[in-house]
Chain A
Amino acid sequence: MNVRFSDRPARITFAIVAVALISLAAAPWWGGRDDLRLLAEIYAYVALASLWNLLAGYAGLVSVGQQAYVGLGAYLLFALTILLGVPPLIAVPLAGAIAALLSLPVAALIFRLRGHYFAIGTWIVAEVFRLLASQVSVLGGGSGTSLPVGIVTSIASSRQMREFLIYWIALALMVAILIAIVLLLRSRYGLALRAIRDNELAAQSNGVNVTRVKLIVYVITALGTAMVGALIFLQKLRISPDAAFSVNDWTAFVIFITVIGGIGRIEGPIVGTLVFFLLRQFLADLGTIYLIMLGLVAIVVMLKAPKGLWGLVVERFGFQLFPLERRVVLADRGAPPPA
């Protein structure tokens, strides 16, 4: 008898995922510019939603202010490249690292707020960041600025190569974030997180340092979110406080995606993002109506199927793409038990 994560369906889906990833990596050869742009946007949302899912769904830190780190990462990218001359592709991870450092004092403040109040605290932090960003006159203040041509061409001289490169980085970043989350959740921190989610008091009395575990998740999320933010705005080439710290774009959509797909599951944000983009292809012209519909769907899902679409799949078929729970496997069912 042994205990392990994977089972046969998971191994089959792993193979499917691998094939899918290889064909996505080859997208520059089979897709047009618009395809690449759309795919990169999808990767960004999968990454953002997965990170928010880690924060809210696993660590119970429900933030409605993750736009703080998207915007911070984006502004750090612009500041590092324009003011300090750091090469853009180095500035992306560097922006993540600086944001992670800055998230420590932020956490020291807002961790004083419990539960629901924590959520609004995160929002205030995002607002403070946005207002501060609009005071930075070297980056255009309230109206923002564009990335100078010299910096853009330093990524790669031809536009096509630049777009390919950014596309691959977006794909790699999403994959890296997903792998990091799976590994984190399979580690002892993952076990601690699930213990906290089930019963915080019981986890604490069993020796889990609840604050420490939550802090680790908060900082990791800030790191990932800021890198994604930096990459998104490296693609847009233009930044402004309202765009970089947008609640709708970086929090409302991300929350709806996660809730609709299934919160507290790795697969949820992926499924949610696919649904989100599918709906958007048909309904984007409706503008505000689209947002209203998304909000309604999210509320109905939260009330009627709180585990989301993927939760329904799991309940029906009992299978997971990325197994996190250990399963007991009887080594050889046919053979008699060892004497």
Chain B
Amino acid sequence: MWRAPSQRECCEIGDVRVLMTDWINVIVQGVLVGGLYAMFAAGLSLIFGVMRLVNIAHGDLIVLSAYVALVATQSLGLDPLTAMLIVVPLMAAIGYALQWYVLNRTLGDDLLPPLLVTFGLSVIIQNTLQELFTADPQKLQAGAIEVASLRVVEGINIGVLPLIQFALAVIVIAALQIIFYRTALGRAFRATADDSAVAQLMGLDNRHVFALAMALSLAVVAIAGVLLAVRANFDPTIGPARLIFGFEAVIIGGLGSLWGTLAGGILLGVAQAIGAKLDPGWQILAGHLAFLVVLAIRPQGLFPKVQG
């Protein structure tokens, strides 16, 4: 998480320049974190779009990916970005199996079963991680790259790692956009989302399509989880908050719009960064308030695509 500077250098009389670069740094940090939130959101938005399922365990699966990456880096001596080559396919496989064996049974007209089953999963994942890895905070070490930064102009520095994360987020969302609108798989997703019964008549196996959607969602979750683990400390209990950030980004951006989730993530990141700058206790609250304001004045989100 972004931290407020320990010294308040900003308040010297007449030192407007420092004050300004300070705020620009805050905004830039917020935008870059927003990329990560957009990735949380994209996975959530994807499965909601295809099968109207909101996965309450989404955040805990992000944390699970972080722990898988932790095990991979520690036991195989990989660096975090290489570890993604293991974590992403593994999480995708877990996603496919989870959908095929559990979640497909919950889908139907009734909203309750998928919600309650994913809620149960969330509690199970959280407590299993706690049992296996204790509640101690962990972090993935990425070496020298962690502290490297680019100087844009005097006083404004951008960390290399946050920049890589943001670039990855843009790439992931662009890739999802292409998969969704340019490939046969995406056509299957959209057909099933529009009318699953007719899609089935046309020869698509819904269960397989849903399982692929969950696999894709968890592949995105895996990337986000590894990036989260490099960025900050994590422990088994932080999943629900990641779910909430992702969800807020989805709603702020507008349901059903992938690029909207990026905008939503950035807005949320900036709101949190500004909140933290004002008072460290206000970081998360400022994000929630931004979400509630959007919900109050523009409930369809900034860039709506479908009416949810």
Contact = CB atoms under 8 A, between A and B. Distances in A.
B116 A259 contact: yes
Interface string A245-260: 0011000100110010
Given A123-B240, A292-B128, A292-B131, A299 B121 contact: yes
Interface stretch (A91-99, A114-122, A168-176): A114-122
Residue in A60, A110, A112, A119 whose Cβ sees the most chain B Cβ within 10 Å? A119
A124 interface: yes
Contacts of A294: 123
A200 B241 CA distance: 32
B51 to A, nearest CB: 11
Contacts of B106: 302-303
B299 interface: yes
B244 A109 contact: no
B127 A109 contact: no
A302 B120 contact: yes
A64 B56 contact: yes
A288 interface: yes
B308 A292 contact: no
B281 to A, nearest CB: 6
A303 B244 contact: no
Contact of B285 (A109, A132, A247, A298): A132
B131 A123 contact: no
Contacts of B115: 62, 64, 116, 119
Contacts of B113: 302-303, 306
A142 B54 CA distance: 31
B50 interface: no
Contacts of B119: 64, 252, 255
Interface residues of A, number: 43
Interface string A270-302: 000000000000000000110110111011001
Interface string A135-169: 10000001000000000000000000000000000
A109 B291 CA distance: 11
Contact of A299 (B54, B117, B243, B244): B117
A131 B102 contact: no
Q: Interface SS of chain B: helix, strand, loop or mixed?
A: helix
Q: Interface SS of chain A: helix, strand, loop or mixed?
A: helix
A296 B112 CA distance: 16
B54 A116 contact: yes
B187 interface: no
Contact of A120 (B114, B244, B299): B244
A303 B308 contact: no
Interface residues of B, number: 42
Contacts of A60: 111
Residue in A64, A292, A306 whose Cβ sees the most chain B Cβ within 10 Å? A292
Nearest to B131: A288
A178 interface: no
Nearest to A132: B285
Contacts of B53: 116
Nearest to A303: B105
A295 B240 contact: no
B284 interface: yes
B296 interface: yes
Interface in B12-46: none
A247 B248 contact: no
Contacts of A128: 285, 288-289, 292
A295 B128 CA distance: 11
Given A56-B112, A64-B119, A127-B284, A299 B291 contact: no
B295 interface: yes
B123 A292 contact: yes
A134 B53 CA distance: 33
A181 interface: no
B49 to A, nearest CB: 12
A263 interface: yes
A295 B124 contact: yes
Contacts of B190: none
A112 B295 contact: yes
Interface in B76-130: 102, 105-106, 111-117, 119-121, 123-124, 127-128, 130
A62 B124 contact: no
Contact of B131 (A112, A119, A289): A289
B207 interface: no
B116 A131 contact: no
A296 B116 CA distance: 11
A250 B123 CA distance: 13
A113 interface: yes
B52 interface: yes
Nearest to B236: A288
Interface of A: 56, 60, 62, 64, 109-110, 112-117, 119-121, 123-124, 127-128, 131-132, 134-135, 142, 247-248, 252, 255-256, 259, 263, 288-289, 291-292, 294-296, 298-299, 302-303, 306
Given A62-B112, A64-B119, A113-B295, 9 more contacts: A64-B56, A116-B52, A116-B111, A120-B243, A120-B247, A259-B116, A288-B131, A289-B131, A303-B113
Closest 6 CB pairs of A and B: A116-B54, A288-B127, A295-B124, A112-B299, A295-B120, A295-B123
25 contacts: A64-B56, A109-B292, A109-B295, A110-B295, A112-B299, A113-B295, A113-B299, A114-B308, A115-B111, A121-B295, A123-B240, A127-B284, A131-B284, A142-B281, A252-B119, A259-B116, A263-B112, A289-B127, A291-B123, A292-B127, A296-B120, A299-B116, A302-B120, A303-B102, A303-B105
